[in-house]
Amino acid sequence: MTIPVKPTVLIVGCGPAGLGAIEQFKRKNFDVVAYEARSTVGGLWNFDPNPEPCTVSFDKDGHAVALTQSERDGKPGPSPTPMYAGVTANTPRDIMPYRSHPYPEGTVEYPTHQTIYQYQLRHAEKYLDYILFNRVITRIRHRPDDHPSSPARRWLVEWTPSYTSGSPDIGKTFEETFDHIVIANGTDARPFIPYIDGLWDWKGEIAHSRWYRRAEDFAGKTVMVVGGGPSSADIVRELGMLQVVESTQAPKKIYRSFRSKLRYDTEHEKGWPAHIENVSPMRIVHGPSEHSSTGRIETQLQVIIFATGFVARFEFCRDTDAPFNKAPLVRQPEVGPELRRPPSFALGKATLEGGHRVHNLDAHQLFYLPDPTLAFLLLHAEAIPWPFSEMQARVVASVWSGTPFEFKPHSDEDNDSHSVLVLGHPGEFEYAEGLLKLIGEGGPEEVDDKGRWGAWPEWKKHIRALID
């Protein structure tokens, strides 16, 4: 008698995307395991009130590289999360969770980060046998033909225990092989600070929103927040509210520099916007000087907080290994040759090592075109993470189970802008419903009597439209 062997799947990361994917691969009878670098699930929703400090250096192109010292030393472990004390969901409770796992009755409409984290812990309870914690993946590649592993699966994965785990095996490298790999660890690991001419000459404090925790940490200081996205909006609101209530821990002065339309500011009625001075985008920084036309602000300014997002970085997919040596995943952001570079004494060893989007994927930004046994979840922006990534995992599991699927390149493959990935409303629903139809689902009901997934009901779509 021949016992059928289940195809193996490794899920990288157990935040919102990875955690929701486990169920979708189990239902398709895969032998699934998830590796998580932390000691718990939740990904970026893990709140650390005292992260290792931010240090900033510059690479040869003038990019500011913001890292912890442990990251600079190459210690294998989880990166600090960008979660801060005052985070409350900007997505209502009823459209936020996994499709088949709503929030408990009585949950407030806009949950705090603590409530969201507890939701993920409860969801994970039934899948703990499929999650291996404190495993940091250091390398993913095609298994070489002469590799002695048995059975001869497609992918060779190297991992090491996290340096925070206390394991006696810290420093050792282990190998495993898999038929399929799902990369679900997100794109929030490497902070992005845009090129700004002369930033390397500025003597004040440079930080990234990844390290922001409390507005009170900037008591008495003059602060510039750079960026116009959700994190920037939260930070300037929290700083401004300290001035509204005349707190002794309020900052002295608050500036905000941005280039795009402000879409995420909330609670205007509380009066905080009156305490924010909005200025044009930062393009150049001069050292403070009585001869500088901008010296008046710069001599006062003490802290610049860059709330400017992150770059996608998958350091374990090395461009020297197959198949990434022929089709790399990311492209380093370019700095024009006409722009100044920092002097040699200002350079550090670290480089940006990331890009604004992932390349060589299919039209749905899901499958790696050179080898579709590798898939990525939740690369898109302005999509609700839990139901969106769960839907993507359902599609991947179906395709890897034999559902016919046409792999086409993205129509804008050469564009390296993050804007390619923005969905919003109604793009999120058009994407999801179209993708589900390709695997034989996507009907008019959210879940039909045969368990097939389809369109969100109109009342959910209405809620989603209100927050876009």
**pLDDT single digits (tens) 129-164:** 999 999 999 999 999 988 887 777 999 999 999 999
- For residue 429, pLDDT over 60 is answered with yes
Residues 324 and 216 in one domain: no
- Residue-wise pLDDT for 292-319, tens only, equals 344 344 558 999 999 999 999 999 999 9
Residues 186 and 197 in one domain: no
Residues 87 and 227 in one domain: no
Residues 165 and 47 in one domain: yes
Task: Give the domain CATH number at 335.
Answer: 3.50.50.60
- Residue-wise pLDDT for 158-214, tens only, equals 999 999 999 999 999 999 999 999 999 999 889 999 999 999 999 899 999 999 999
In a domain, 34, yes or no: yes
- Residue-wise pLDDT for 94-132, tens only, equals 999 999 899 999 999 999 999 999 999 999 999 999 999
**Six-digit token string for 298:** 């710069």
The one-letter amino acid code at 408 reads: K
53 preceded by cis ω (within 30°)?
Answer: no
Q: Which residue is it, tokens 């691969």?
A: 25
Instruction: Please report the pLDDT score of residue 4 as a whole number.
Output: 67
Number of domains in the chain: 2
Domain membership of residue 275 as a residue range? 193-308
- Residue-wise pLDDT for 341-350, tens only, equals 999 989 999 9
Residues 199 and 178 in one domain: no
In a domain, 438, yes or no: no
Residues 121 and 30 in one domain: yes
> Of 422, 437, 453, which one is at a domain's C-terminal end?
422
Residues 317 and 303 in one domain: no
Residues 101 and 226 in one domain: no
**What backbone phi and psi angles, to 5 degrees, belong to 445?**
-100, 145
In a domain, 328, yes or no: yes
Instruction: Please report the pLDDT score of residue 189 as a whole number.
Output: 84
In a domain, 123, yes or no: yes
- Residue-wise pLDDT for 328-385, tens only, equals 999 999 999 999 999 998 999 999 999 999 999 999 999 999 999 999 999 999 999 9
Q: Which residue is it, tokens 């650390």?
A: 48
Angle among Cα 274, 275, 279 to the nearest 5 degrees reads 90
Dist CA 286 CA 267 (whole Å): 35
- Residue-wise pLDDT for 378-428, tens only, equals 999 999 999 999 999 999 999 999 999 999 999 999 999 989 999 999 999
Residues 19 and 104 in one domain: yes
Residues 133 and 275 in one domain: no
Residues 226 and 290 in one domain: yes
Burial class (CB in 10 A: 0-12, 13-18, 19+), 289: exposed
In a domain, 159, yes or no: yes
In a domain, 454, yes or no: no
In a domain, 468, yes or no: no
3-state secondary structure labels for all residues of the chain: CCCCCCCEEEEECCCHHHHHHHHHHHCCCCEEEEEECCCCCCHHHCCCCCCCCCEEEECCCCCEEEECHHHHCCCCCCCCCCCCCCCECCCCHHHCCCCCCCCCCCCCCCCEHHHHHHHHHHHHHHHHHHEEECEEEEEEEECCCCCCCCCCCCEEEEEEECCCCCCCCCCCCEEEEECEEEECCCCCCEECCCCCECHHHCCCEEEEHHHCCCHHHHCCCEEEEECCCHHHHHHHHHHHHHHHCCCCCCCCEEEEECCCCCCCCCCHHHCHHHHCEEECCCCECCCCCCCCCCHHHHHHCCEEEECCCEEECCCCCCCCCCCCCCCCCCCCCCCCCCCCCCCHHHECCCCCCCECCCCCEECCCCEECCCCCEEECCCCECCCHHHHHHHHHHHHHHHHCCCCCCCCECCCCCCCCHHHHECHHHHHHHHHHHHHHCCCCCECCCECCCCCEECCCHHHHHHHHHHC
- Residue-wise pLDDT for 213-231, tens only, equals 999 999 999 999 999 999 9
- For residue 1, pLDDT over 50 is answered with no
In a domain, 272, yes or no: yes
Residues 330 and 296 in one domain: no
Instruction: Please report the pLDDT score of residue 262 as a whole number.
Output: 84
- Residue-wise pLDDT for 252-288, tens only, equals 999 999 987 888 888 899 999 999 999 988 777 765 4
- Residue-wise pLDDT for 40-86, tens only, equals 999 999 999 999 999 999 999 999 999 999 999 999 999 999 999 99
